[in-house]
Amino acid sequence: QVQLVESGGGLVQTGGSLRLSCITSIRTFSTMGWFRQAPGKEREFVAAIAWSAPSTYYRDSVKGRFTISRDNAENTVYMQMNSLKPEDTAVYYCAADPRGPIAGSGYKYWGQGTQVTVSS
């Protein structure tokens, strides 16, 4: 059974940094992504990384602040989040194996999420 386990969330002040990690239980997927869901809002795409190239993709509001990376030997994907803002507050989910657009929600595997809270 495939499992994705996120870690690294927490409470930080505006302008602070966090590094999220997502480890997969079986293997490294060709494409992995991060999504987030704030209270009362839809889940939204944040970033993704493809094994080939490797190529990275970001939503506009995090470009220049967030960096997604992967360590295939460790079956782990990371997301370094800098210059955090209160609007980044959400539960962040790791996802793997998209069955549609990379920025869409059609990923086959999902983690349980990790809470990120940015105080003003």
- Taking residues 55-69, report their average pLDDT: 96
Q: Which residues pair with 7 in a beta bridge?
A: 21
Closest to 13 (Cα-Cα) out of 86, 78, 80: 86
The backbone torsions φ and ψ at residue 88, rounded to the nearest 5 degrees and listed phi first, read: -85, -5
Answer yes or no: is pLDDT of 53 > 70: no
pLDDT value, residue 52: 67
- Taking residues 14-37, report their average pLDDT: 92
Q: How large a percentage of the chain has pLDDT more than 70?
A: 97
pLDDT, tens digit (0-9, with 9 covering 90-100), for 71-110:
888 889 999 999 999 999 999 999 999 998 999 989 999 9
